[in-house]
Amino acid sequence: MAKANKDIAPPDLGAEAAPPEGAGQALPSLAAGIAVIQTQLKTMPATPGVYRMLDRRGDAVYVGKAQNLRKRVIAYTTPSKLPYRLQRMVAETTAMEVIRTHTEVEALLLESNLIKRLRPRYNVLLRDDKSFPYILISSDQEWPRIVKYRGSRSSGGRYYGPFASAGAVNRTLTALQRAFLLRSCSDSIFSSRTRPCLLFQIKRCSAPCVGRIDRAGYDALVAEAQLFLEGKTQRIQRQLATRMQAASENMEYERAAAYRDRIKALTAVQSHQGINVAGLDEADVLAAHQEGGQTCVQVFFFRSGRNYGNRAYFPRHDRQTEVEEVLGAFIGQFYEDKPVPRQVLLSHRVPEQALLGEALTLRAERAVKLFRPERGEKRRMVEHALLNAREALARRMAESASQNKALEGLADIFDLDAPPRRIEVYDNSHIAGSHPYGAMVVAGPEGLIKNAYRKFSIRGAAKPKSPGGAGAAGPGLAEAQAGYAAGDDYAMMREVLTRRFERAIKEDPERERGVWPDLVVIDGGQGQLGVAEQVFAELGIEDVELMAIAKGPDRNAGRERFFRPGKPPRELEPRDPVLYFLQRLRDEAHRFAIGTHRARRSKVIGRSQLDEVPGIGPRRKRALLHHFGSARGVQQAGLADLETVEGISATVARKIYDHFHEDG
């Protein structure tokens, strides 16, 4: 299969591509764009392939595929037959690049890949920044475990999913732990246990770590869990019911109650995932609804005959694009990096549907049926997905209207030149300076833009520069100039803002890619605002608005004070919608910063000093902890003491001793 050229670097996927300008504005030179295309046509092959229209910066503005490249591209030289959107695209074209493929199917696959990587603004674009969670039952461990899993499926074991959301997989996982009592802990925790943990006490684990179940019994539980997740639900429930009845007849009432609880847990899984649908053993249902120039695509996942949840998508496209074209483009991009089911049910017949089905078959390496059901249970499932798409789009449009009203109110209250299209909110999180992180959240007319969020691991750079000109020092700014100290919020904010905007200047100096904010909001008071003013003055940034939000007296919500450069602080009325809007943004930045900090802190806390010793695996680590009681005890042990531990040879003992006594 043809591959994309390696010299094509994908842009920052957090960027918001600018939409095409309106029809009331003057076109760039349409004749110049047509001339570029006509020049390319002289050497354009009449073969399958993919073409890219490039603007003057070398960025792709459109990616297309064709069975015959020459026939397809020649259509762009007759502007009178093109819609205004494509006329603008031709006018912006200064160069073209072509990649030949062996077949049209390969061209379709490559087109989807390039659109997702390059995000050309005249294509239908799928914003898809999250992978789907799976349930993994591992097979590369002595005692398999059951866990939620995201990412590339490279670990040994069986994967079940995808699930539409973390909530759906967490509910299922909890019920499966109650039903099959499989461990979910990490190998390091498993190897160091000396007594059962809380999960055993609440009947969500069989405690294989301390021998409460033998290997044969545990393997039987693993096999039952796999059968259940593969759809053999009735078989497993009949087996459990038979065992419960036998235990009851033998007056083993505690054992019978345990089987009863497992049956109830399995029933809970099935009730959350809906009923079995005939013929939907492994299928996705895709339904698109279009209104007001926007489209919602609802995706429902069915695996092993059960509903694994649904997710709504809102592809970005020109208002004139028909719903069938949007859905067809969505399918190609959606399955570019996701497993393809055996059936894909559609709400509309899409362009080149047979070709799309062939491409999905090639990608899945097995037969894939792509079709629009006309009647029966499958059609009812599509209608149900369509209803969900219609309701999700209505909610989004209502939220968008409310968001636009809040942005207009924000501009009016704080005398901004226009309602901001992109707002960035910054906050820091640490405990007495330890594991400090900065966080940036982004919002716009359509709400929070989560794929544009960024986190900054505070590095503790050199002493800050002295302020340059604009940006008078506010209270606390002297501390910001004193260099880094534990918990120095001013220095941390300086580092975060400097790194963020130095990168913006480097990557988008002409501010044409939509990665520059109109308004920057800092969680803090006059001191943090002064730091931001200094950074902007040093970097020569003069056209980005600044604001700081300080908590009110006694940290009361509703009494926040707002600081703007050169203006006195002010408060808003407690029930002002703009106040609620800014509070939500501030709280989201706070949540994101704290979550990032906690994740890093938990990772560090969960590590043992023994993990850093080369040659110490789980068994030796467990033997050392059992012998000395703690990692500190191992660290303080003498060489002779280490050699007495079972499984620790003289050579390994020397490695451990030297690791903890390198300075000795």
Please give the domain boundaries of the chain with CATH numbers for all domains: 30-118 (3.40.1440.10), 134-272 (no CATH), 282-395 (3.30.420.10), 423-603 (3.30.420.340), 609-660 (1.10.150.20)
Pair 277, 305: CB distance under 8 Å: yes
Band of the pLDDT at 277, cuts 50, 70, 90?
Answer: low
pLDDT at 11 over 70: no
Rounded to 10°, the helix 323-334/104-118 angle is: 90
Q: Per-residue pLDDT tens for 611-625?
A: 677 777 777 877 887
- φ, ψ of residue 516 to 5 degrees: the values are -95, 135
Pair 191, 620: CB distance under 8 Å: no
Average the pLDDT over 8-12 and give the result.
Answer: 34
Pair 373, 382: CB distance under 8 Å: yes
The most distant pair of C-alpha atoms in the chain lies apart, rounded to whole Å, by 91
Pair 210, 195: CB distance under 8 Å: yes
Beta bridge partners of 60: 54
DSSP 535-597: HHHHHT--SSEEEEEE--GGG-TT--EEEETTEEEE---TT-HHHHHHHHHHHHHHHHHHHHH
Distance CA 381, CA 505 (A): 49
Burial readout 393-415 (b: 16 or more C-beta within 10 A, e: otherwise): beebeeebeebeebbebbbeebe
User: Which H or E element spans position 17?
Assistant: none
Percent of the chain with pLDDT over 70: 85
At 634, is the secondary structure helix, strand, or coil?
A: helix
Q: Per-residue pLDDT tens for 500-510?
A: 999 999 888 88
Q: Who wins on pLDDT, 93 or 558? A: 93
Mean pLDDT of the chain: 82
Residues near 615 by Cβ (< 8 Å), separated by ≥ 6?
652, 655
Apex CA 249: angle with CA 246 and CA 250, to 5°? 85
Residue 156 pLDDT: 83
Pair 96, 53: CB distance under 8 Å: yes
Pair 624, 648: CB distance under 8 Å: yes
- φ, ψ of residue 304 to 5 degrees: the values are 55, 35
pLDDT at 181 over 70: yes
pLDDT at 473 over 50: no
Nearest CA to 321 out of 287, 361, 350, 364 is that of: 350
Q: Per-residue pLDDT tens for 293-308?
A: 889 999 999 887 778 8
The token pair at 141 is 């461990």
What distances in angstroms separate CA 230 from CA 182, 221, 233, 302, one per listed residue? 17, 14, 8, 12
What distances in angstroms separate CA 349 from CA 95, 327, 424, one per listed residue? 34, 9, 41
Band of the pLDDT at 286, cuts 50, 70, 90?
Answer: very high
Residue ranges of the alpha helices (H) in 350-473? Answer: 353-364, 376-413
pLDDT at 477 over 90: no
At 425, is the secondary structure helix, strand, or coil?
A: strand
Band of the pLDDT at 395, cuts 50, 70, 90?
Answer: confident
> What letter would DSSP give residue 125?
B
Q: Per-residue pLDDT tens for 78-130?
A: 988 888 888 899 999 999 999 999 999 999 999 999 998 898 989 999 876 66
Residues near 519 by Cβ (< 8 Å), separated by ≥ 6?
410, 416, 420, 422, 423, 424, 544, 545, 546, 547
Distance CA 413, CA 409 (A): 6
Relative to beta strand 282-291, strand 343-346 is parallel
Residue 540 burial (CB count, 10 A): 9
Q: Which of 15-29, 231-245, 579-593 has the highest mean pLDDT?
A: 579-593
Residue 466 pLDDT: 37
Average the pLDDT over 412-433 and give the result.
Answer: 85
Q: Who wins on pLDDT, 575 or 158? A: 158
Distance CA 428, CA 455 (A): 10
